[in-house]
Amino acid sequence: MTGCLWPCAAATIATTTAAAMGSGTGRRGWWLFQSKVRCPVDVVRHSRDLLSNVLEDREACSNNHDPKREQKVMADLRKSIREMKCILYGNGDAEPVTEACTNLTKEFFKENMNTLRLLIVCLPYLDLETQKDVTQIIANLQRQKVDSRIIASNYLEANKDLLDILMSGYDNVEIAIHYSTILRDCIRHQVAARYILDSQHMKKFFDYIQLPDFNIASDAFRTFKELLTRHKSSAAEFFSRNYDWFFSEFNFKLLSSPNYIIRRQATQLLGDILLDRSNIPVMICYVSSKENLIILMNLLREQSKAIQLEAFHVFKLFAANQDKPPEIVGILSANKTKLIRFLADFSLDKEDQQFEIDKAKVIAEISML
């Protein structure tokens, strides 16, 4: 308990009060908090003890069941988690104190203490507000530096199975959004993203994106997109190793989905992937396939302007390819007149010079066939 002179709330309130009232009255803020506020390290330790309690209670189930005690633990835990959030994010107009954040982060990621694991495992048992606080705390901790190193990344590298637990959240409606949000924060670290990209989890995203619950499905899509676009080198490696099954699923389940939103998001993501410099080999492979071209031509004919435009950004790559395989040339020239007429009429609501330039190039390419 020593070395705890500057707890977040008390410190900031004391200084802001002092600033507002002139020095000397600064101590006035203290008495309110003195008995309650703990220093960052103690807040983490206390939370950890309470979380272990919660877990033991759950595992013990009916034996020793004491609802009164459980309620008290929960209330205490809620407060403790709120305190952590206040240290990391500041409180109202009080900015967070760097040293307090550093101390908290160090204690949080201390080896063999499992604080993050306990929080993730216990998350389903907490109330909604506390779950949101936890999500924010974990997001913040992913960015905190200790001695100019981001220690969250090292922690995740040593505890990769936590990512499996987070992935399992998609099967549980109650927790899916929270786990998905936390997972997205974790894959800011390349080591975590690479672990998921190398795992069987990637296959499951195609089902999660089609879940009937719209919120979960779109959150799963956001995580999926992040995995495939954030860390360029890892994503490029993933595409080259998993090209066949991945794009076959992508075409069949996403681009050909009966759901408009899935088709639109997927078409846009496909453009993001294929137009990225780090994915040039993948792009060349993709635009050499007849099946892919047919899917994109169908998307060009969609009712929705948004999908048409996203599809155009991919379609132009088929046309621009200077080394078109005969089957691609075959389809494009068989549909030459229709395509040129369509493109000539295809305009956007607002002016877009790059689009007009691209369109002219595509028309020229197809006319030459």
Ligand X SMILES: *[C@@H]1O[C@H](CO)[C@@H](O)[C@H](O)[C@H]1NC(C)=O
Q: Which of residues 271-300 bind ligand X (CB under 6 A)?
A: 297-298
Residue 33 near ligand X by CB under 6 A: no
Residue 10 near ligand X by CB under 6 A: no
Phi/psi at 299 (5° precision) = -65, -30
CA atoms within 13 A on the CB side of 15: 12
CA dist., res. 109 & res. 279, Å (int): 35
With respect to ligand X, which residue has the nearer C-beta, 235 or 328? Answer: 328
Among 139, 335, 342, 363, binds ligand X (CB under 6 A): 335
Identity of residue 196: I
Residue 40 near ligand X by CB under 6 A: yes
Contact code string over 82-121 relative to ligand X, x by CB under 6 A: ---------------x-xx--x------------------
Which H/E stretch holds residue 149?
strand 149-150
Residue 14 near ligand X by CB under 6 A: no
Residue 3 near ligand X by CB under 6 A: yes
CA dist., res. 33 & res. 39, Å (int): 12
Quote the least distance from Cβ 296 to ligand X, whole Å. 9
CA dist., res. 207 & res. 188, Å (int): 23
Cα–chain-centroid distance for residue 3?
37
Cα–chain-centroid distance for residue 132?
15
Stretch in the footprint of ligand X (CB under 6 A) among 46-54, 239-247, 257-265, 328-336:
328-336
Identity of residue 290: K
Quote the least distance from Cβ 221 to ligand X, whole Å. 26
Residue 334 near ligand X by CB under 6 A: yes
Residues near ligand X (CB under 6 A) are 3-6, 39-40, 97, 99-100, 103, 297-298, 331, 334-335
